[in-house]
Chains A and B, each alone.
Chain A
Amino acid sequence: MPQVPNRRVLTGTHFMLGNHAVVEGALAAGCDFFAGYPITPANEISEHMARRLPEVGGKFLQGEDELCSIFAVTGAALAGARAMTATASAGYNYMQEGLEYAIAAEIPCVIVDVQRCRGENFATQADVMQMRWGPSGDHEMIVLAPSSVQELFDTTIRAFNLAEKYRMPVIVMSETTIALMRERLVIPRPEEIEIVHRAKPSVPPEEFLPFQAGPDGVPPLPAFGEGYRVLYSLNPHDERGSIHWDPDVFEAMYRRITHKITTHYDDIVRTESFYLDDARIGVVAYGSECRSALEAVELARAKGIRAGMLKLATVWPVPEREIASLARQCATILAVEMNLGKYAREIERVACGTCQVVRVTKNRGVIHTPGEILEAIEAHA
Chain B
Amino acid sequence: MTIPDIVPNPLRRYLRPGSLPHFFCSGCGAAQVLNFFLQAADELGLDFDKLVAIGGVGCAARIPVYLHAEALHGIHGRTLPWATGIKLHNPELTVVIFAGDGDAAAIGGNHLIQAARRNLDVTMIVVNNLNFAMTGGQVAPTTFPDLVTSTTPYGNRERAFDLCQLAVAAGATFVARCSTHRPRVTIHTLKKAIQHRGFALVEVICQCPTYFGRRAIGSDDPAQGIRWIAEHSVSLYRAGELAEEELADKFILGTFVEKEAPVFEGSSVYPGGEG
Contacts and interface: CB of A to CB of B under 8 A. Distances in A.
B81 A67 contact: yes
7 contacts: A2-B270, A2-B273, A53-B268, A71-B78, A73-B85, A75-B86, A80-B90
Interface stretch (B47-55, B200-208, B248-256): B47-55
Interface string B28-49: 0000000000000000000011
Nearest to A62: B267
A79 B89 contact: yes
B71 A59 contact: no
B8 interface: no
A35 B85 contact: yes
A224 B90 contact: yes
A129 interface: no
B70 A71 contact: no
A63 B118 CA distance: 11
Contact of B266 (A54, A225, A230): A54
A79 B268 contact: no
Contact of A235 (B52, B64, B73, B110): B73
Interface in B73-119: 73-75, 78, 80-86, 88-90, 92-93, 110-111, 114
B270 A76 contact: no
A226 B49 CA distance: 7
Nearest to B266: A59
Interface of A: 2, 4, 7, 32-33, 35, 50-51, 53-55, 57, 59-65, 67-81, 83, 97-98, 101, 105, 223-235, 240, 242-243
Interface of B: 16, 18-19, 48-50, 52, 64-65, 68-75, 78, 80-86, 88-90, 92-93, 110-111, 114, 265-275
Given A229-B49, A235-B74, A74 B268 contact: no
A231 B18 contact: no
Interface of A is mostly: mixed
A50 B268 CA distance: 6
Given A224-B86, A224-B93, A7 B275 contact: yes
B111 A64 contact: yes
Nearest to A240: B18
Contacts of A35: 84-85
A79 B75 contact: no
B70 A225 contact: yes
Contact of B270 (A55, A81, A224): A55
